């Protein structure tokens, strides 16, 4: 009907529009029902559901997913389909029925009037267009419209009759009746009766509700796909609500202009703005393999799907009317329309393609694109269309959040052009939060998935202790949520093996071995004549094929295994009489998808990291265990055994033969990778970066001799892939601080500073002797130093070098119950210069005169709470951290620093009740000469706006010694009790009273 206001509310254009809708809706429905009745050879009284399950061999679950609940009810209530509307009839015809392709195939959208599928689509689109887009303004336009519908339906009836060999007289009668009814509608009186009023109401309802229904359908999908499991690799079950086990990850914003990072709360990810205060059209979330990118995506999906019933932690989600989710591994989606059609499968029947796009772009929408590092030719096209076309034309209503590994960030940034963007990086789970993470998973395992009984409290305590001790070797690896999840699962089910793990490669190897043992046990129980060794030999043969096929898939950036790969698996299992389903489910996720010719089996690794782990084995098989060599050696072994050669002699002969053959047929890693590509220009080393890292660990663990043979080439390829110094130290850790690898890695570390974190203490100790003596060293530790046995050795090594040193002990800063005195004693009278210290010390005697920057926390139960800081001539920056338990009488004045004050106080956990205490400690610590600080910072406070105002007034009090406190820079406060409306008056009060800026921390 007309979209324009009319005198009297309803006028002639509305009546004409109603007639047009009636023509196509009524007669189009009759034409589609005719096709349905001749194309669906079901028994009289049999409903469509029973027909497809019993005759079409379709699984009930797949049938149910195809329809809405209302449509399923109508199918059961009306077996003949005579009351089905156009929407439901199109859905039924695309199941598919005999003589028709499955809905979604190209024939349905290709404009070819010789194909019945296109004519059906045209009827649906014409109905949708007249409902939502096309306006018929007068009688000549109505007559023209009626003629076009007449021609369309005539062609449809005739083609349906021809395709299904119907009686020609019957078809002509259908066409005659159709034309008669259309004429009656066109010539009907131009008045509105009750029936016509109802048609108009139906039109309005259809226009208003189609996107709402689609949104509700999306939310139901997301409630399912957002579920996770800590070890779906083995269980093949994802049944846990992501909110119940999600632990916060550390996130930083990469500020490219200043080349600095800013720590942010992941809960506010969607509210980030660019430097010029624009809302970001594109948010990039970077993270290493297993860092929790996909889990973060699932959290967003789950929280949006449950709004408004369950409060969300990710702020701003309630502003989005639609969230559209796609994985870049998907090879079937290449356009924004494809994405919408896949997600809105019901609405795609109700609306035409143009209508659907227009409706979506008119909504406030967020697109989640997961795994840009896995993008293929099609998903790359989708990303480019979103960035280059859809986001600009949406007028700010469409926003994109995409996740990626580091190796694709540069390429992604180059695509953004003029779109305002934000680049963030997930840094993993802080050591202080790792216990919380594993406890949640352990509780879930105990309740639902443990394969043996255990005492929950006891095992939680043991796992916590293991985590503390493991920081010496795996501190970096347990920042990754994926690794923590695997650790917890294995701790419950295979604690003997996991307790010996010291590297990430060993963690994945133990997990892989655990799965293989489960598989062999299952196969051995099949009452087969084969023993376990025979089963193992045949499974190992399967693994060789699997490793190779995964390597091929990785080279093609394909997360779904190609069809020819499935054929190879089937042939091998058939030849060896192996149960294909059992074998595949041990290593792959197996999907079943309904297609035009029945079910298709799709294989995919459960995580890209597992694909890379298998691929690493594939390359190693090529360079170390060439299958042709193994076949020769197996034949030689059989011959030697037949001739009665003693076992020890056999071993010597075979070992000699193996070395001889391998020397003559030596391959290179680069050669193996080049063989996977048609040209060297197609070889992108970034694609193989994580695989190459895993190769280093596997070679160290299982083929140490080959680690020396291939170590140099491996490290050079990693350098070509853009590996950072941080990641090169990971290589040393993965090879258990192998001296040869440490020496080779030292040649790749070209930065001026060596940065050492918790899990890199041992690797740094191995690498330092090979680095230039004047290379500066920053030791930046988050965990408890007492659990790093190599730390004293590292400090002694650093003390012997002519370099500057920064020692950052974050754990001691946040928990001033232990001092760093014993560690600083190791740097006394040394060649190195300690210029920056972060932590807690109890004695000024351990502080070297070379210090330039100092971050100290005040002791809670000691007097004095801080050591004297008067004899530090080079000190220019001082941060003091105070907790509410610190007593003001245990503090003394701080020294004045040269130039500006250079002093900032961090005062934690202050509420309105602690304002008096906070004012006291600020005044007690005032420098000897003057009352000025750079800044006062109140992290984790519970201050209200009134409390914050009272704090400002107290600090400005002239009558309390030493008088008004002055700040040269800022007063900074974090508090969830202060809302945005409170900030302007607080800013004004602070500027007037303390003469400094007020900043609200996020």
* 757 vs 783: CA distance, rounded Å: 9
Res 237: pLDDT: 53
**Cα R_g (the chain), whole angstroms:** 35
CB count within 10 Å of CB 998 equals: 20
Q: Is the dihedral of CA 193, 198, 199, 201 positive or negative?
A: positive
Cis before 308 (ω within 30): yes
Strand partners, 255: 260
What rounded mean pLDDT belongs to the chain? 84
With residue 753 as reference, give the H or E element that holds it.
strand 753-756
Tally of CB atoms within 10 A around 501? 23
Least confident of 658-667, 681-690, 805-814: 658-667
Query: Using CA atoms, how far apart are residues 813 and 906, in angstroms rounded to an integer?
Result: 11
Residue 202 clears pLDDT 80, i.e. is over it:
no
- In angstroms, the CA 252 to CA 266 distance is 9
Output the pLDDT for position 191: 59
Separation CA 294–CA 485 (nearest Å):
14
Q: What is the DSSP string of 217-272?
A: HHHHHHHHHT-B-TTHHHH----B-HHHH----EEEEEETTTTEEEEE-GGGGGG-
Q: Would you say residue 383 has pLDDT above 50?
A: yes
Q: Pseudo-torsion of CA 545, 550, 552, 554, nearest 10°?
A: -170
Euclidean distance between CA atoms 272 and 191, whole angstroms: 56
Question: CA 368 to CA 381: how far, in whole Å?
Answer: 15
Which residues does 186 contact at the CB level (< 8 Å), separation at least 6? Answer: 19, 23, 142, 143, 146
Specify burial of residue 431 (Cβ count, 10 A radius: 0-12, 13-18, 19+): buried
Condensed to tens digits (0 to 9), the pLDDT of residues 808-864 reads 999 999 888 789 999 999 999 899 999 999 999 999 999 999 999 999 999 988 889
Biggest alpha carbon–alpha carbon distance for the chain: 110
- Cβ atoms within 10 A of the Cβ of 310, count? 12
Q: Which of 722, 721, 717, 769 is nearest to 743 (CA)?
A: 769
**What's the pLDDT score for residue 1001?**
83
CA 281 from centre of chain: 19
Token look-up 């990118």 returns 293
Residue 628: pLDDT band with limits 50, 70, 90: low
Query: How are strands ordered across the β-sheet holding 250-255?
Result: 260-264, 250-255, 421-428, 282-286, 398-404, 365-370, 322-327
pLDDT tens by residue, 43-91: 877 888 888 888 777 788 778 878 877 788 888 888 888 888 888 888 8
Lowest mean pLDDT among 66-75, 347-356, 756-765: 347-356
Work out the average pLDDT over 736-750.
Answer: 93
* 248, 496, 504, 609 from 501: Cα distances, Å: 25, 10, 8, 18
- Classified as helix, coil or strand, 90 is helix
CA gap 673, 622 in Å, rounded: 10
The confidence score (pLDDT) of residue 633 equals 74
What's the CA angle centered on 888, arms 883 and 892, to 5 degrees?
Answer: 110
Sign of torsion, CA 49 55 60 63?
A: negative
Specify the CATH superfamily of domain 213-225+248-428: P-loop containing nucleotide triphosphate hydrolases (3.40.50.300)
Sequence-ordered strand ranges (E) for 587-735: 589-595, 598-604
Whether pLDDT at 204 is above 50 = no
Both tokens of 165, joined, read 């060999």
Angle at 662 between CA 660 and CA 665, to 5 degrees: 115
d(CA 869, CA 896): 10
Q: Which two tokens stand for residue 541?
A: 């043969």
Name the band, by pLDDT with cuts 50, 70 and 90, for residue 368.
very high
Task: Give every CB contact of residue 20 below 8 A, 6+ residues apart in sequence.
Answer: 130, 134, 136, 142, 145, 146
pTM of the predicted model, to two decimals? 0.72
Mean pLDDT of 725-749: 93
The C-alpha atoms of residue 595 and residue 590 are separated, in whole angstroms, by 15
Going by pLDDT thresholds of 50, 70 and 90, the confidence category of residue 157 is very high
pLDDT tens sequence across 300-321? 888 898 887 777 788 888 889 8
Q: Quick one: DSSP state of residue 79?
A: T
pLDDT at 224 exceeding the cut of 60: yes
CA distance 935 to 950: 18
Q: Give tens-digit pLDDT for 166-183.
A: 988 889 999 999 999 998
Angle of CA points 143, 147, 152, to nearest 5°: 150
Question: CA 483, CA 946: separation in Å to the nearest integer?
Answer: 45
Neighbours of 337 (CB within 10 A): 19
Q: HSE on the CB side for 80, CA within 13 Å? A: 4
CA distances in angstroms from 34 to 81, 100, 606, listed in the order given: 10, 14, 45
Task: Domain ranges for the chain, please list them.
Answer: 12-192, 213-225+248-428, 456-465+479-654, 893-1002
Strand partners, 368: 325, 401
| pLDDT tier at 484, thresholds 50, 70, 90 | confident
pLDDT score recorded for residue 403: 93
The C-alpha atoms of residue 728 and residue 764 are separated, in whole angstroms, by 10
Helix, strand, or coil (residue 531): coil
Query: In the predicted model, is pLDDT for residue 596 greater than 50?
Result: no
d(CA 380, CA 412): 10
Distance between CA atoms of residues 835 and 804, nearest Å: 7
* Long-range CB contact pairs, 498-502, < 8 A, 24+: 499/466, 501/470, 501/474, 502/470, 502/473, 502/474, 502/736
For the segment 4-19, what is each residue's pLDDT rounded down to a tens digit? Answer: 444 444 566 777 888 8
CA separation for the pair 66, 53 (Å, rounded) = 13
């Amino acid at each position: 009907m007309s979209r324009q206001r009319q005198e009297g509310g309803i006028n002639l254009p509305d009546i004409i529009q109603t007639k047009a809708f009636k023509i196509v809706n009524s007669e189009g429905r009759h034409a589609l029902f005719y096709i349905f009745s001749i194309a669906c050879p079901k028994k009289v009284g049999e409903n469509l559901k029973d027909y497809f399950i019993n005759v079409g061999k379709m699984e009930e679950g797949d049938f149910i997913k195809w329809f809405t609940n209302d449509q399923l009810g109508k199918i059961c209530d009306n077996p003949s389909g005579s009351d089905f509307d156009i929407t439901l009839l199109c859905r039924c015809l695309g199941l598919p029925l005999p003589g028709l392709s499955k809905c979604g195939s190209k024939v349905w959208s290709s404009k070819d009037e010789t194909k019945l599928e296109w004519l059906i689509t045209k009827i649906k689109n014409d109905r949708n267009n007249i409902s939502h887009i096309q306006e018929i303004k007068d009688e000549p336009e109505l007559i023209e419209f009626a003629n076009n519908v007449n021609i369309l339906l005539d062609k449809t009836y005739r083609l349906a009759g021809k395709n299904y060999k119907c009686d020609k007289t019957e078809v002509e009668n259908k066409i005659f009746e159709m034309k008669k009814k259309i004429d009656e509608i066109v010539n009907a009186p131009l008045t509105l009766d009750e029936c016509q009023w109802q048609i108009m109401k139906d039109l309005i309802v259809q226009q208003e509700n189609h996107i709402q229904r689609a949104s509700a359908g999306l939310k139901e999908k997301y409630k399912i796909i957002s579920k996770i499991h800590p070890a779906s690799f083995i269980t093949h079950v994802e049944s846990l609500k992501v909110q119940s086990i999600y632990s916060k990850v550390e996130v930083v914003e990469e500020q490219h202009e200043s080349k600095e990072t800013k720590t942010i709360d992941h809960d506010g990810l969607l509210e980030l703005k660019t430097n010029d205060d624009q809302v970001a059209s594109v948010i990039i979330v970077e993270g290493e393999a297993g860092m929790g990118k996909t889990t973060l995506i699932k959290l967003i999906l789950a929280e949006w799907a449950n709004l408004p019933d369950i409060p969300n932690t990710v702020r701003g989600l309630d502003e989005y009317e639609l969230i559209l989710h796609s994985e870049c591994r998907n090879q079937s989606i290449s356009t924004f329309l494809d994405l919408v059609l896949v997600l809105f499968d019901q609405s795609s029947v109700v609306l035409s393609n143009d209508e659907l796009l227009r409706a979506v772009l008119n909504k406030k929408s967020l697109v989640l694109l997961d795994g840009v590092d896995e993008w293929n030719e099609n998903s790359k096209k989708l990303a480019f269309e979103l960035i280059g076309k859809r986001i600009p034309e949406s007028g700010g209503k469409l926003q994109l959040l995409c996740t990626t590994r580091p190796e694709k960030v540069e390429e992604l940034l180059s695509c953004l052009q003029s779109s305002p963007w934000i680049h963030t990086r997930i840094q993993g789970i802080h050591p202080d939060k790792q216990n919380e993470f594993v406890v949640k998973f352990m509780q879930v395992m105990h309740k639902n998935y443990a394969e043996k009984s255990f005492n929950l409290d006891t095992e939680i305590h043991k796992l916590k202790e293991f985590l503390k001790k493991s920081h010496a070797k795996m501190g970096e690896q347990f920042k990754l949520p994926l690794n923590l999840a695997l650790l917890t699962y294995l701790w419950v089910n295979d604690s003997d093996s996991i307790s010996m793990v010291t590297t990430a490669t060993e963690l994945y190897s133990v997990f892989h071995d655990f799965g293989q043992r489960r598989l062999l046990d299952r196969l051995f129980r099949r009452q087969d004549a084969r023993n376990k060794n025979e089963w193992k030999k045949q499974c190992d043969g399967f693994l060789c094929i699997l490793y190779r096929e995964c390597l091929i898939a990785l080279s093609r950036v394909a997360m779904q295994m190609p069809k020819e790969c499935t054929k190879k698996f089937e042939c091998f299992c058939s030849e060896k009489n192996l149960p294909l389903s059992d074998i595949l489910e041990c290593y792959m996720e197996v999907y079943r998808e309904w297609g035009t010719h029945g079910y298709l089996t799709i294989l995919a690794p459960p995580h890209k990291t597992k694909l890379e782990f298998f691929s690493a084995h594939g390359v190693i098989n090529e360079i170390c265990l060439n299958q042709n060599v193994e076949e020769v050696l197996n034949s030689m072994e059989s011959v030697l055994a037949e001739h009665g050669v003693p076992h020890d002699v056999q071993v010597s002969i075979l070992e000699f033969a193996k070395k001889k053959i391998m020397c003559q047929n030596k391959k290179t890693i680069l050669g193996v990778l080049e063989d996977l590509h048609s040209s060297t220009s197609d070889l992108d080393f970034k694609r193989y970066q994580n695989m190459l890292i895993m190769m280093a660990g596997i070679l160290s663990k299982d083929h140490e001799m080959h680690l020396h043979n291939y170590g140099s080439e491996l490290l050079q390829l990693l350098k070509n892939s853009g590996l950072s110094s941080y990641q090169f130290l990971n290589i040393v850790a993965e090879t258990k601080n192998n001296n040869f690898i440490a020496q080779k890695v030292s040649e790749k570390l070209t930065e001026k500073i060596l940065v050492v974190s918790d899990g890199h203490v041992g690797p740094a100790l191995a690498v330092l002797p090979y680095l230039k003596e004047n290379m500066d060293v920053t030791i930046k530790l988050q965990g408890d130093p007492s659990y790093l046995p190599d730390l004293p050795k590292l400090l002694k090594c650093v003390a012997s070098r002519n370099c500057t040193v920064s020692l950052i002990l974050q754990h001691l800063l946040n928990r001033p119950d232990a001092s760093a005195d014993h560690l600083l004693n190791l740097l006394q009278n040394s060649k190195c210069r300690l210029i920056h210290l972060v932590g807690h010390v109890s004695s000024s005697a351990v502080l070297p005169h070379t210090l330039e920057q100092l971050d100290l926390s005040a002791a809670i139960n000691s007097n004095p709470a801080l050591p004297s800081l008067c004899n530090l001539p080079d000190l220019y920056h001082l941060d003091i951290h105070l907790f509410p338990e610190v007593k003001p009488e245990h503090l003394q004045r701080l020294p004045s620093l040269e130039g500006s004050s250079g002093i900032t106080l961090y005062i934690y956990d202050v509420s309105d009740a602690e304002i008096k205490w906070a004012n006291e400690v600020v005044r007690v610590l005032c420098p000897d000469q003057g009352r000025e600080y750079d800044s006062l910072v109140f992290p984790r406070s519970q201050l209200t706006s009134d409390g914050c105002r009272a704090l400002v007034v107290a600090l400005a009090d002239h009558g309390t010694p030493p008088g008004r406190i002055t700040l040269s820079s800022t007063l900074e406060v974090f508090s969830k009790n202060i809302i945005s409306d409170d900030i302007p008056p607080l800013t004004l009060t602070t500027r007037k009273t303390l003469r400094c800026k007020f900043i609200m921390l996020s």
